[in-house]
Amino acid sequence: MASRQMKMPVKGDAEKSPEAEDVFSQRRRPELGRYLLQVDRQTKGSYTTSNAAQSAALAIKTGHPIVQVSVYDAVENTNRIVEAPAAPEHVTSGGDAASAIKG
């Protein structure tokens, strides 16, 4: 069997894209913001302001109350757990139970 040589095209400097230099590995993802949104101890996003991270965390927590949602401050190394908002009290019409029993 005869062997063949393969000729590959040569890439020039003009063909290289600047995006190729910004490729990140799967081990270490870029942390763009100071505040990291974590769901069940897995980082899901980063935000530059605390208010943006808190509002995103609250939206996740209200939609999925069973998961643990927290905001991690990468500069101060603090982790703040977000609690679900309290459900409003259910008010029955017609007054309280004591007045209904009396009469």
Residues 69-101 pLDDT 10s = 999 999 999 999 999 888 777 666 555 555 555
Q: Does residue 92 sit within a domain?
A: no
pLDDT at 80: 96
> b/e for 4-31, b at 16 or more Cβ within 10 A?
eeeeeeeeeeeeeeeeeeeeeeeeeeee
Domain that holds residue 51: 31-84
Q: Does residue 103 sit within a domain?
A: no
Q: Does residue 95 sit within a domain?
A: no
pLDDT at 44: 94
- Please, where are the H alpha helices in the chain? 50-63, 97-102
**Which tops the pLDDT comparison, 21 or 10?**
10
Q: Does residue 47 sit within a domain?
A: yes
Q: Does residue 51 sit within a domain?
A: yes
> Rounded to two decimals, what is the model's pTM?
0.56
pLDDT at 59: 96
CA angle 29–35–36, rounded 5-degree value: 45
Q: Does residue 38 sit within a domain?
A: yes
pLDDT at 95: 55
Q: Does residue 48 sit within a domain?
A: yes
Query: How many domains is the chain partitioned into structurally?
Result: 1
User: Which residue type, as a one-letter code, is found at position 39?
Assistant: V
